[in-house]
């Protein structure tokens, strides 16, 4: 059986894991899945037809209809969709449906970088590499504000910070698959680290693991 290579990246919103995942997927020529988009797709489908986000069976139906090949980042990246995603993400049945799709993606050769909240703990517990990318809530809020301002928008720092803290609480506090580092994850705190430095640190970890595997 050909071995597929899996890199699992977890962490809170705004820690820089998305950019890191993209850079690593490019560098190691692996497939890339931002699993947050799958939860966002469920929330978006419900918001579009005005369904309440606590309607579990509607959320399950929307989850079954998620097509990983058709996730539209431009549509799904809206802030309100992220908020709504964290609400439908608490339902274990919704998670199970999406996790199956994510695992099938991870199994496809040559392997993949997956980023999310529960990749190293639940989706791919046997991943070759697990990274937990974090940064202080203040730094994440500052980055988010800079991002909004760079595209000509305006926002209030205190509001963004409150939003981030609320999302952290929901993601870390839920009963099913809470956000937490896997026991064997490498921690990367990007509070005082540029994305390039995080990329280099991650590569060092991955290259070590690859060298060890080639020796075995
Ligand atoms: O990463 P992103 O902000 O796109 O994720 C949106 C929401 O989807 C998160 O706040 C979280 O509640 C949920 N999510 C999850 N498990 C994942 C990825 C995202 O519960 N693997």
Give the closest residue (by CA) to ligand 1 atom 21: 116
If one residue of 9, 17, 89 were mutated to test the ligand 1 pocket, choosing by the most ligand atoms within 8 A of its CB, it would be: 89
Indicate the length of the chain as a whole number: 216
How far, in Å, is the centroid of ligand 1 from the Cα of 3?
Answer: 28
Determine the distance separating the centroid of ligand 1 and the alpha carbon of 133, expressed in angstroms. 14
Q: What is the pTM of this model?
A: 0.95
Q: How many A from CA of 198 to the centre of ligand 1?
A: 21
Q: Is 109 exposed, middle or buried (0-12, 13-18, 19+ CB in 10 A)?
A: exposed
Nearest atom within ligand 1 for CA of residue 77: 4
State the residue for tokens 């090949």. Answer: 69
Distance CA 172, CA 194 (A): 25
Q: What is the mean pLDDT of each run of 10 residues along the chain (216 residues)?
A: 87 93 98 98 98 98 98 93 95 98 98 98 98 97 91 93 94 96 96 92 94 82
Name the residue ranges covered by the structural domains of the chain: 5-177+184-205
115, two tokens: 């980023």
Helix 79-88 and helix 157-173: axis angle, to 10°? 20
* CATH T-level assignment (fold) for domain 5-177+184-205: Rossmann fold (3.40.50)
Tokens for 215? Answer: 């020796």
């Amino acid at each position: 059986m050909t071995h597929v290579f899996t890199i699992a990246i977890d962490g809170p919103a705004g820690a820089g894991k998305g950019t890191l995942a993209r850079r690593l997927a490019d560098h190691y020529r692996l497939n890339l899945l931002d699993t947050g988009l799958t939860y966002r797709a469920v929330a978006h489908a419900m918001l579009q037809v005005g369904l309440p986000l606590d309607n579990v069976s509607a959320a399950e139906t929307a989850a079954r209809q998620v097509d990983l090949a058709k996730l539209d980042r431009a549509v799904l990246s809206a802030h309100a969709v992220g908020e709504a995603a964290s609400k439908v993400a608490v339902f274990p049945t919704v998670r199970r449906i999406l996790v199956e799709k994510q695992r099938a993606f991870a199994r496809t050769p040559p392997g993949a970088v997956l980023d999310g909240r529960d990749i190293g703990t639940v989706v791919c517990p046997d991943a070759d590499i697990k990274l937990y990318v974090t940064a202080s809530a203040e730094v994440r809020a500052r980055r988010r504000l800079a991002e909004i301002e760079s595209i000509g928008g305006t926002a209030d720092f205190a509001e963004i910070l409150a939003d981030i803290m609320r999302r952290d609480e929901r993601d870390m506090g839920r009963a099913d698959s809470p956000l937490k580092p896997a026991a064997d994850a490498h921690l990367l705190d990007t509070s005082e680290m540029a994305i390039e430095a995080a990329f280099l640190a991650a590569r060092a970890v991955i290259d070590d693991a690859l060298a060890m595997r080639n020796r075995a």
